[in-house]
Structure 1
Amino acid sequence: MTKPITVWLTPPGPNSWKVILVLEELQVPYEIKAFKHDDVKKTPYTDINPNGRVPAIVDPNTNLTLWESGAIIQYLEEVYDTEKKLTYDNLNERHQLNQFLHFQMSGQGPYYGQAGWFTHLHHEDLPSARTRYHNEVHRFLGVLNGILEGKQWLVGDKCTFADLSFLPWNCRLDILLKYPDDVDPLAEFPNVQSWHHRMRERPSWKRAMEIRDGLMSDQGLQPNGMPKGIYNMAQYEDFLAKSPEDQQKWLDAQS
């Protein structure tokens, strides 16, 4: 009988949910060790991942500890996707899937992350940096839109782990780029938009988001990642401008 895989994660970040999504799709037993982002560079987590990034897994079935979301996904596919639900047997298709997984990790993740950082978190306003990464996000989406022209999925005729790896970051795009609530940031990329919506309707994604929202609530966060009691981006930016001590006082006052 398969023992549950332990997944270490901080709920707000997108990368961990790539792994949870694959676990849900494959129906592999797992348990989550959730902790606050403030503790990602501290023990005991750095004993699991010395790089201090999430996610990481500990698999008691193979005695393997593994970090980096792409490496974890490839491992789960090799060991647990025995029915090839999210992959293929064919040599060419297998490597095309890995190509797109690397494209997600080298293109989408870093560009989206830097766009979010310079839009919301950097200690000074740097319009040139913000413009650069916003432009790179749109360039990346344009490439992806072209790849998906006339296709339902990236490779072959089914949704695979490569497709699913893009979903968590695209779900955060409106916040990362500070889009108004009534504007879909994928609207100008119709192939990406329809592909994205198909994946969001999968039961595995809905289940993963139910789990995520519960873990976020436990940490005093709303589903959009903002602390409870903050209702718009202007309030969130005011919160981020506070010192860590004042942020904690504000959070304590909301509880």
Structure 2
Amino acid sequence: MSHGKQFTLYTHDRGPNGWKVAFVLEELGLTYESKFLDFNAGEHKGPEYLKLNPNGRIPALVDHKNNDFIIWESNAVIQYLVDRYDTAHKISVAPGTDEYYTQLQWLYFQASGQGPYFGQVAWFVVYHPEKVPSAVERYRNEVRRVLGVLESVLSKQEYLVAGKPTVADLAFLTWNNIAETFLLENFDFAKEFPATAKWHKKLLERPAIVKVLDDKAKVAAAHQ
């Protein structure tokens, strides 16, 4: 079966983890088709998708030029993309170097420290059927703690790894966007975490990121 695009990205119109994979695909100039799963219809838990990702979450990526290789878990997808296709290290560092493991460190921290805690705020604020103020407070405190970790590093250096923007930086963008817009009450990003806010704004201005966020806005409008 021939494919017009190299990759198929199974994702969700609002899911932050799918869009951060799109950032990397766009940054590397790789061609891809996004398939947006209908969560209300349970497509992410259906048998066809579970063949691709037994965890029933987004994203999953199929690389048609690598024997339809399937990979899921967003930061594993990102690592696969840069290890295999960013040979010029445009947005990554060389495998095996000390900085490579620093890059991995931040990707692990994003996956374990940022995504789950930020996601829990979204759950308890928007989706949980009962109001649980103690849970909201706990996870909002964690959002600020994570931003504080970033601030402690970015107040001393421009980027997280190697003095340049890499996937270590890009992986934080989507959830930080959500934090800035609705996770925290009365939140002044630039005032509370000035170095992190400056870094975040600079990353958002990258042409590939602008394009993907424009695509996201168009998809959101179409799905209203």
TM-score by length of 2: 0.91
Contact 2:6–2:32 (CA<8 Å) still a contact in 1? yes
Is 1:170 aligned to 2:176, yes or no? yes
Give structure 1 regions of 4+ aligned residues with deviation exceeding 6 angstroms: none
Is 1:56 aligned to 2:60, yes or no? yes
Deviation at 1:186, TM superposition (A): 5.0
Q: Which residue of 1 aligns with 2:45?
A: 41
Q: Which residue of 2 aligns with 1:9?
A: 11
Q: State the Cα RMSD in Å.
A: 1.8
CA distance in 2, matches of 1:186, 1:80: 35
CA pair 103-83 structure 1, distance change in 2 beyond 3 A? same
Q: How big is each residue's C-alpha offset from its partner over 1:139-159, in whole Å with a ceiling of 9 and x where there is no partner?
A: 111111001122110012210
Deviation at 1:184, TM superposition (A): 3.5
Q: Which residue of 2 aligns with 1:81?
A: 86
Q: How big is each residue's C-alpha offset from its partner over 1:19-76, in whole Å with a ceiling of 9 and x where there is no partner?
A: 0000111101111111222222224322221211101011111121111001100100
Gaps of 5+ in 2: none
Aligned residues: 218
Q: Which residue of 2 aligns with 1:71?
A: 76
Contact 1:49–1:67 (CA<8 Å) still a contact in 2? yes
Higher RCO by CA contacts (8 Å cutoff, separation 6 or greater)? 2
Q: How big is each residue's C-alpha offset from its partner over 1:71-117, in whole Å with a ceiling of 9 and x where there is no partner?
A: 10010011100111011226100000000010100011001000111
Q: Which residue of 1 aligns with 2:216?
A: 212
The 5 Å alignment of 1:185-204 reads 185-204=189-208
CA distance in 2, matches of 1:175, 1:150: 26
Amino acid at match of 1:58: V
Contact 1:36–1:219 (CA<8 Å) still a contact in 2? no
Structure with greater Cα Rg: 1
Q: Which residue of 2 aligns with 1:100?
A: 106
Is 1:134 aligned to 2:140, yes or no? yes
Q: Which residue of 2 aligns with 1:245?
A: none
Contact 1:148–1:191 (CA<8 Å) still a contact in 2? yes
SS in structure 2 at match of 1:44:
helix
CA pair 60-150 structure 1, distance change in 2 beyond 3 A? same
Deviates more, 1:33-42 or 1:95-104: 33-42
TM-score by length of 1: 0.81
CA pair 103-47 structure 1, distance change in 2 beyond 3 A? same
Q: Which residue of 2 aligns with 1:32?
A: 34
Deviates more, 1:196-205 or 1:34-43: 34-43
Amino acid at match of 2:178: R
CA distance in 1, matches of 2:51, 2:73: 15
SS in structure 1 at match of 2:192:
coil
Aligned pair partner of 2:164 in 155, 158, 161: 158
The 5 Å alignment of 1:217-232 reads 217-220=221-224
Q: Which residue of 1 aligns with 2:21?
A: 19
